[in-house]
Amino acid sequence: MNRRSQTLPAVLAGVEVAMQDKPCEWDMGECRTELLPLLGELGRIATEGGDLAGILQVLVELMQRHLKVTRGLVSLRDPESGRIFIQQGCGLTEEEQASGSLARGEGIVAQVVDSGRAVVVPGEAGSQSFLCVPIRRDRKVLGAIVAERHYANRQMLELDAEILAILAATTAQAVELHLQEHVRKAALEDENRRLRSALQNRFKPSNIIGNSRPLQEVYALIEKVTRSRTTVLILGENGVGKELVASAIHYNSSNADGPFVKFNCAALPESVIESELFGHERGAFTGAASQRRGRFEAADGGTIFLDEVGELSLAMQAKLLRVLQEKSFERVGGNLTHQVDLRILAATNRDLRAMVEQGRFREDLYYRLNVFPITVPPLRERGADIATLAEHFVARFSSEMGIDVERIATPALSMLMCYHWPGNVRELENVIERAVILSEGGSIDERHLPPSLQIPAASESTAGGILDVRLGQAEYDLIVEALTLHKGNMTEAATHLGLTRRILGLRMARHSLNYKDFR
């Protein structure tokens, strides 16, 4: 059996027997038998699972006091990068400490770590002897122990190397755990910081598509409000994705494990809204054959999303105000008060401030809802997101319908970018669904888009004639294609088109194009 593969007590016993034959090397000026108690102490510390810094500190002190080491260190190898660095040392210069490597013997350390074999270099002409042994764990070399001392006797240096090998075997497990738990963790943290820096520490919900500047501002507000349970009022035109924002708030908040209940206040007649929201008791009205829990009870412990809250009558607004203030209500036809613990999210496309002034919306309810307003921008203000959303919808619908559509042709993309989208994202989704159904040859062309997006044909009376119109449209398509390809980088787009940046800027101004819309 290889001596280094034995257990520590067996190795120590072998050393003790060997030293009984020659207990003290008085003719060499040193004694080794007194090392055994300290080796046992080091083994006990490692076995009890002490931290690596404490174990290596004991190891270095042992080397200094009993091996007469003037300079010593423990070097470890990063398992990911292979870089060798100093973990613990004594007698090192400030430069060596700062650089994390040895001025002398650096090549030998790398050689020992690569080969897994110890190296002993006796000193000559007054120079110090150099010893380096590997720290091994199974077949892996995790690092090395290095020692320098004023001693040149080859036999004693070989014995010192054996003792260092025992020390290396004793610390190997702790070293391996340290590399796994700390060095790799540090590498992952560095990578995480790098990625966060690349994304400018922007929070982006997974269910919302787009990276335009207006949408980034919405992401920042969502990130902040998810840390609390504040009531949120989501504002915006129809079709902008207010429900997606509400979902992002709920599923990224502390009550994400609770229910997420949605209710459209405009979808039902006023006579049944109260029963839907608060529930009813049996016999409360004609048709109430059994007791029924309302949406607020169903959302207890989670979130309720009230869409189109501006459509509620003044009577229902008063009852909603009480739930916001006290988190309590009674079912229709009942006297028992029910307490709920939930978060309320509300959304509307109405101007609630104007409705308050007109007496159509309660002012106290408005202020209760408007604690943390989030306005979702319309699609016409998010030009940079149009292409991204269109490609997302193409991929989704082509997969659902089993139709192979690989791309949107540049002229069609230009039409999508030029349209003002009064129906916002919902309208874009419907347009792409129709285009996927009509597509041929794996591409969506301008003829697959609805008439509302088509560019009017030029008449003969148009200034400059039809040729100028067609040339202008071709130029527009080429510029849009270049800006899309290079993500709004004007320098790269100009190079792609064979233009100077100044000329490209002038032609973009002619077509009312902004490079920011393509980022």
CATH number where 447 lies: 1.10.8.60
CB proximity list for 80: less than 8 A, separation 6 or greater: 183, 184, 187
The answer to whether position 21 is within a domain reads no
- Do 484 and 351 belong together in one domain? no
- Do 383 and 368 belong together in one domain? no
- Identify the domain boundary among 400, 427, 453: 453
- Number of independent structural domains in the chain: 4
The answer to whether position 315 is within a domain reads yes
The answer to whether position 436 is within a domain reads yes
The answer to whether position 283 is within a domain reads yes
Q: What is the mean pLDDT of each run of 10 residues along the chain (519 residues)?
A: 43 44 44 62 62 82 81 84 81 71 72 89 79 89 88 80 86 84 69 56 74 88 91 94 93 90 88 87 79 90 94 91 89 88 94 94 94 94 88 92 88 85 93 92 87 59 55 78 83 88 86 79
Q: What is the pTM of this model?
A: 0.54
Give the pLDDT confidence score for residue 4 in this predicted structure.
Answer: 40
- Determine the Cα–Cα distance for residues 390 and 414; give it in Å rounded to an integer: 12
- Determine the Cα–Cα distance for residues 416 and 306; give it in Å rounded to an integer: 32
3-state secondary structure (DSSP) of residue 1: coil
- Determine the Cα–Cα distance for residues 246 and 303; give it in Å rounded to an integer: 9
- Do 254 and 108 belong together in one domain? no
The answer to whether position 507 is within a domain reads yes
- Do 48 and 180 belong together in one domain? yes
Q: With contact defined as beta carbons under 8 Å apart, do 90 and 73 qualify?
A: yes
- Do 321 and 431 belong together in one domain? no
- Do 411 and 363 belong together in one domain? no
The answer to whether position 41 is within a domain reads yes
Give the pLDDT confidence score for residue 100 in this predicted structure.
Answer: 58
- Do 363 and 394 belong together in one domain? no
If phi > 0 it is left, if psi is from -120 to 50 it is alpha, else beta; for residue 49 that is left
- Do 239 and 340 belong together in one domain? yes
CATH number where 115 lies: 3.30.450.40
- Do 365 and 218 belong together in one domain? yes
Give the pLDDT confidence score for residue 455 in this predicted structure.
Answer: 57
Alpha carbon separation from 208 to 203, 248, 423, 443 (Å, rounded): 11, 8, 17, 25
CB proximity list for 33: less than 8 A, separation 6 or greater: 16, 19, 23, 24
Query: In the structure, how many helices (H) and strands (E) does the chain have?
Result: 20, 18
- Identify the domain boundary among 349, 375, 401: 375
Structure-token match 């064979």, residue found: 498
- Do 233 and 302 belong together in one domain? yes
If phi > 0 it is left, if psi is from -120 to 50 it is alpha, else beta; for residue 200 that is left
- Do 337 and 253 belong together in one domain? yes
Domain limits at 446? Answer: 379-453
The answer to whether position 97 is within a domain reads yes
CATH number where 226 lies: 3.40.50.300
- Identify the domain boundary among 429, 453, 477: 453
Q: With contact defined as beta carbons under 8 Å apart, do 172 and 136 qualify?
A: yes
The answer to whether position 106 is within a domain reads yes
- Do 276 and 366 belong together in one domain? yes
